[in-house]
Structure 1
Amino acid sequence: MNFFVHQNIVIHHLKIDGISNSSVCQIGSAGIIKPLSQLYNTGGFTGPAPSAGPIPRVEREQFVPLVPLVEPVR
C-alpha cells in the first residue's frame, strides 16, 4: 500500500529548550526515522562538566508568552 502525503507547513517561530543525544524533533510526517547518535570530544575535555547553578527566578509579570496559554490546573 502506498501513501502519498502533500504537506505545506509554515513555522514562524520554533523554540527548543533542551536537546540531548536521543532527541528527535519531527515536523510533518515521515515514512521512517533512523535514529543516529554520535559523540565527539572536540574540546579535548578529560572530565565531566561542572554542576549547573540555580535557575534564576523570573517574576510572573515579566513573563509574556508568544502564544496565549491556559493557566495549568494544580
Structure 2
Amino acid sequence: MNFFVHQNIVIHNLKIDGITNSSVCQIGSAGMIKPLSQMYNTGGFTEPAPPAGPLPETSSEEFIPLVPLVSPSR
C-alpha cells in the first residue's frame, strides 16, 4: 500500500533557545530519524583555545551588536 503525504508548512517565528552537538530540530514528518553526531578536529589543534579577550570599545554610548540584527516588528 502506498501513502502519499503532501505538506504545506508555514513558519512565522521559530525560536531555538539552545543547540548542542546532538540537537535535532524536526519540522514536518519523517519515517525515521537516525541520530548521528560527528566531531572533527580539522585544524589539527592539540590544546584548548585561549580565553576570550574583552569586547572591542565603541566610540559612542550606543550599543552596537556584533551580529547585524533587524528591528523587531510590532
Under a length normalisation based on structure 1, what TM-score does the superposition of the two structures give? 0.51
Q: CA RMSD in A?
A: 2.7
Which residue number corresponds to residue 10 of structure 1? 10
- Matched residue pairs, number? 51
Q: Which has the higher contact order (CA 8 A, sep 6+)?
A: 1
Letter in 2 for 1:47: P
Q: Give ranges in structure 1 of 5+ residues lacking alignment.
A: 51-74
Q: Distance in 2 between matches of 1:9 and 1:39?
A: 31
What percentage of residue pairs aligned between the two structures are identical? 80
Larger radius of gyration: 2
Q: Distance in 2 between matches of 1:41 and 1:27?
A: 30
Q: Distance in 1 between matches of 2:25 and 2:6?
A: 20
Q: Distance in 2 between matches of 1:4 and 1:45?
A: 50
Q: Give ranges in structure 2 of 5+ residues lacking alignment.
A: 52-74
Question: What displacement does 1:3 show?
Answer: 2.9
Matches within 5 A, 1:26-65: 26-42=26-42, 44=45, 46-47=47-48
Letter in 2 for 1:25: C
Which consecutive segments of 4 or more residues in structure 1 shift more than 4 A?
A: none
